[in-house]
Amino acid sequence: MTSSFNVHDAAGYEQLMGRWSQRLAPLFIDFAGLADGEKVLEVGCGTGSLTFALARNAALRKIVAIDYSPVFVEETARRNTDPRIEVQQADACALPFQSGSFDRALALLVLHFVPEAEKAIAEMRRVVRPGGVVAAAVWDHIGGMPGMRMMVDTVAALSESGRQLRALYCFKPMMQPGEMERAFVAQGLADVTQTELMIRMDYRNFHDYWAPIAAGEGPLGQYMAALDPVERERTEAAVRDAYEAGRPDGPRSFANVAWACRGVVP
Ligand SMILES: C[S@@+](CC[C@H](N)C(=O)[O-])C[C@H]1O[C@@H](n2cnc3c(N)ncnc32)[C@H](O)[C@@H]1O
């Protein structure tokens, strides 16, 4: 299996994550760096949060965005109006590009959904020219996402399947401290540095938080979709209680931390 990401619907993804990855993209670009005239590869573009943030840099020559999911390729292509952007379906673990054909390869919130993430890093390194940069960011599900931990801890307290969801969710590839840095070094990248990027996810109310998950989006949505109606109702009530935290329903804001790593192709 080359991707563990569950794609239901592009609009649902946008509400679950795209609106927040738009906040993360500029921080990630600052960390990854860009230079005038570059040809950049984006791996795992989703609905284009990073793609269109990159395109705000007028001096870039070309942006090639790939995704494994045809749903996302279609959606990013549909939204695109910039002739420098090319969107295509491809697998991060077998990139259909010649060696050394890009100045930079970036992956935002992708590697934790690639079971063989090391292969994807090796491929990103292969397609970047010597002296070019490979950079990636993944969420820190276990220690840096209290809004989503709130759900997985709640379901873990309710059932054995919830405990299994939590174990999977908290230990996806590249999420442990130093793990991505070690993988970058193991794939032969030089001058490897890792940092943490933080954004907040601000919800208007419980419905705003819950609707994409209830609709089956992402790994938590996939879990909900597999429950029977009684269990779904019990789970929703328990997560609502955790969201409200003893106050009336309304806005809640959660900090979210991503690990980001960058290395240079020798
Ligand atoms: C959480 S989304 C991130 C999307 C986008 N980069 C963003 O920040 O909003 C993860 C993305 O990785 C893509 N993906 C997962 N495995 C992949 C693979 N092997 N090759 C290419 N894309 C992959 C998924 O299809 C999905 O679009």
Q: Is the pLDDT of residue 44 over 80?
A: yes
Cβ neighbours of 83 (radius 10 Å): 7
| Greatest alpha-carbon span in the chain | 57
Model confidence at 193, pLDDT cuts 50, 70, 90, reads very high
Predicted pLDDT at 6: 75
* 67-71, long-range: CB < 8 A, 24+ apart: 68/2, 68/3, 68/5, 68/44, 68/92, 69/3, 69/5, 69/7, 71/7, 71/9, 71/10
Give me ligand 1 centre to Cα 52, in Å.
15
Q: Is 46 in the pocket of ligand 1 (CB under 6 A)?
A: yes
Predicted pLDDT at 90: 97
On average, the pLDDT of the chain sits at: 96
Q: Is 44 in the pocket of ligand 1 (CB under 6 A)?
A: yes
- Vertex 255 angle, CA 252 and 260, to 5°: 150
Q: Is the pLDDT of residue 58 over 90?
A: no
Of 140, 151, 121, nearest to 219 (Cα)? 151
Q: Is 53 in the pocket of ligand 1 (CB under 6 A)?
A: no
Model confidence at 7, pLDDT cuts 50, 70, 90, reads confident
| Strand ranges of the sheet holding 190-203, from the earlier edge strand across to the other edge | 85-89, 62-67, 39-43, 102-108, 128-139, 252-264, 190-203
- Summarize the confidence of residues 163-188 as an average pLDDT: 97
Q: Is the pLDDT of residue 40 over 90?
A: yes
Predicted pLDDT at 4: 82
Give me ligand 1 centre to Cα 150, in Å.
24
Q: Is the pLDDT of residue 181 over 90?
A: yes
Q: Is 113 in the pocket of ligand 1 (CB under 6 A)?
A: yes
Q: Is 50 in the pocket of ligand 1 (CB under 6 A)?
A: yes
Model confidence at 114, pLDDT cuts 50, 70, 90, reads very high
Give me ligand 1 centre to Cα 234, in Å.
31
- Give the nearest ligand 1 atom to 45 CA: 6
Give me ligand 1 centre to Cα 226, in Å.
22
Q: Is 92 in the pocket of ligand 1 (CB under 6 A)?
A: yes
Predicted pLDDT at 51: 98
Give me ligand 1 centre to Cα 21, in Å.
12
